[in-house]
Each structure stands twice: as C-alpha cells, then as structure tokens.
C-alpha cells in the first residue's frame, strides 16, 4: 500500500478577491505569467482526481485552497464531487476540506458543501478592528462584515466549519480578547497560526511576530481555554500536542519528523512539496506525467 498522503489543491492558484497585506501566496502568480486569470480546467481536474484515487490507500483527502477557491464557483465543486464518485475505490473514504475567506459564500455553494460534508475553514483574525487591519479588499476596505455574512450562510446550510486565525502584529497582544470573541460568537473550533514573513533582506515584515510574542499569545489563549472550556472548545494546537503526548500521534506537519504528508497541486497540474515551497526549482512535476 502507498504511504497515505493528501492533496492540497489550488484551483484558482493565487487569484483572490481580497488583498490581505500579509498573504504570502499572492506573489506566486508570477510563476504563471502566461495568463492573468488562473482557473483549473476540467481536463486537469479529472487528471488530478483520477490519478490520486488510483493510488492504493484507505482514504483520499482533498484540501481546496488558494488564493480564494470559492472563485471557482459551485459548478466546479459539483464536478469535483462527481469525479470523486466516479473514480472512488470500493471500501475507501473521501474527505474534502475548503479554506476560504467566506466573502463569496452563497446558499448554492454552501448547500453543496453541506451535502458532501466538506469541512470548511474560515479565515477570521478577530473582531472588526483587528481583522480589518490586514484583511482588506482591493480598494482598501475591510472584509470583516462580509466574512460574518459568509459564516451565517454556512450556519444556515449546516456546513461544518472551523475558524483559522492568523496571529499577526494586530492581534498578537490580544490573545485573551481574540479567544473570547470567537467563543462569544459561538465558534468552538479554533486554529491559530503565527505570521512569520521576511523581506528580501531577511528583516521581519511589519505584520510578522516573534517567538516571545507568539508564546505570550498562546499562554493567554491557554489560560482562557483551560479555565472552563476544555470540554467545549477545540484549539487545534492544544489538541495536537495532547494527541502526541497521549497517543504518539503526529497529526500536524509541524509536529512530525518529516515533511511529506501532502503534495500541493497548482491550477495547471504542477506539483510541489508544500505551499510554502512553491518555487520553480522545487517543482516535482505535473499530473500529466510530464516534467516540463
């Protein structure tokens, strides 16, 4: 049996309707200057799904990210699930995750995600004054209110979702406030990720945080969580550490001993080892089996 691995697929590449200041993936459009609009074709989509599901493993895990994958529209995700049904193997399972800014979510897309049990991750950095500091539209306006509308759409359609919070210079000193805001909003599945980016000279970008501040943020969140919420709120990092201590299970790549849990697939079928290593010199090949 093939060692299990998942796919992280960028069907719209780095294309996005927002212009978040700290987005590390926007610049990847420069790898594909042949077109201004990047969209995965039906041919590439079928090749990705059919070749992946031809591998011998007990389950197939698809992660749909961007950029903003919701730019592909509901018909694309209908093709996704149709192809997964067509190429599925008897006795195996299929899981889909979608990471989105939620501003483009509508009832039609949400209903499809609900029907096929997609797990949706929504990017939300905290209350409006924090979230809107860096998560902006092209015209510079904040996106917080649209994100909440998208979340309401997911809730209305009974879509399972969690919150992904990028911990940056705008919220790193407010761990307690951010955690309580999420809980007060009724969001009980939290994922916190540190923002660490450098410029060409190796200096931290304005939105980046250091290790000490990241540790203080986590301590504030932990104190709030441990005080009364351990049975009702899931904080992914804490859950992962507990799984490692109790069962020896390494369920996140940062806690693992290597970096081969998944492969990234770009809109045209190019394959890379990870979305942090999408560089021309690290390209592994293409789903067409051509290495050109």
Q: Is the pLDDT of residue 105 over 70?
A: yes
List the strands of the sheet with 93-100, edge to edge. 234-235, 189-194, 161-167, 119-123, 93-100, 59-64, 6-9, 262-265, 270-272, 285-286
Selected residue with higher pLDDT from 262 and 250:
262
Write out pLDDT tens, residues 231-243: 999 999 999 999 9
pLDDT of residue 252: 79
Query: What is the SS3 assignment for 219?
Result: helix
pLDDT of residue 290: 46
pLDDT of residue 1: 57
Q: How far apart are CA 30 and CA 24, in angstroms?
A: 12
Kindly state the average pLDDT of the residues 58-75.
97
Q: How far apart are CA 176 and CA 156, in angstroms?
A: 28
Structure tokens at 292: 């050109």
- What percent of the chain has a predicted confidence (pLDDT) above 70? 97
Mean pLDDT of the chain: 94
**What is the DSSP track for 91-140?**
T-EEEEEEEE-STT--HHHHHHHHHTT-EEEEE--SSHHHHTTT-BBTTS
Q: Which of 164, 165, 171, 256 is CA-nearest to residue 216? A: 171
- What percent of the chain has a predicted confidence (pLDDT) above 90? 84
Write out pLDDT tens, residues 143-199: 999 999 999 999 999 999 999 999 999 999 999 999 999 999 999 999 999 999 999
pLDDT of residue 2: 63
* Lowest mean pLDDT, pick from 50-54, 129-133, 154-158, 243-247: 243-247
**Domains defined along the chain, listed by start:** 1-127+136-159+259-292 (3.20.20.70), 166-256 (no CATH)
Give the active site residues.
275
pLDDT band at 292 (very low <50, low <70, confident <90, very high): very low
pLDDT of residue 291: 43
Kindly state the average pLDDT of the residues 224-233.
96
Write out pLDDT tens, residues 3-22: 789 999 999 999 999 999 99
Given the DSSP bridges, would you call strands 262-265 and 119-123 parallel, antiparallel or unpaired? unpaired
Structure tokens at 218: 């986590």
pLDDT of residue 204: 94
- pTM listed for this prediction: 0.94
Kindly state the average pLDDT of the residues 54-67.
94
Q: Is the pLDDT of residue 90 over 90?
A: no
Kindly state the average pLDDT of the residues 91-119.
97
């Amino acid at each position: 049996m093939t060692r299990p691995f998942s796919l992280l697929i960028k069907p719209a590449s780095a294309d996005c309707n927002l212009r978040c200041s700290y987005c590390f993936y926007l610049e990847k459009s420069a790898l594909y200057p042949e077109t201004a609009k990047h969209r995965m074709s039906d041919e590439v989509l079928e090749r990705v799904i059919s070749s992946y599901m031809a591998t011998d493993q007990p389950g197939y895990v698809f992660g749909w990210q961007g950029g903003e994958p919701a730019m592909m529209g509901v018909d694309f995700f209908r093709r996704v699930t149709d192809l997964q049904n067509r190429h599925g193997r008897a006795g195996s399972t299929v899981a889909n995750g979608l990471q989105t800014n939620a501003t483009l979510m509508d009832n039609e897309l949400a209903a499809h995600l609900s029907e096929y049990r997609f797990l949706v991750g929504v990017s939300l950095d905290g209350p409006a004054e924090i979230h809107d500091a860096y998560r902006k539209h092209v015209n510079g306006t904040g996106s917080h209110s649209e994100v909440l509308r998208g979340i309401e759409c997911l809730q209305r359609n009974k879509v399972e979702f969690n919150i992904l919070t990028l911990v940056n210079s705008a919220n790193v000193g407010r761990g307690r406030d951010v955690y309580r805001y999420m809980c007060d909003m009724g969001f009980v599945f939290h994922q916190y990720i540190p923002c660490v980016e450098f410029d060409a000279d190796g200096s931290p970008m304005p939105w980046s945080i250091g290790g000490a501040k990241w540790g203080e943020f986590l301590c504030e969140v932990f104190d709030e969580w441990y005080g009364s919420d351990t049975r009702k709120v899931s904080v992914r990092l804490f859950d992962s550490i507990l799984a490692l201590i109790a069962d020896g299970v390494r369920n996140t790549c940062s806690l693992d001993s290597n970096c081969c849990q998944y492969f990234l697939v770009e809109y045209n079928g190019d394959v890379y080892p990870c979305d942090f290593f999408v560089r021309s010199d690290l390209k592994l090949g293409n789903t067409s089996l051509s290495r050109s």
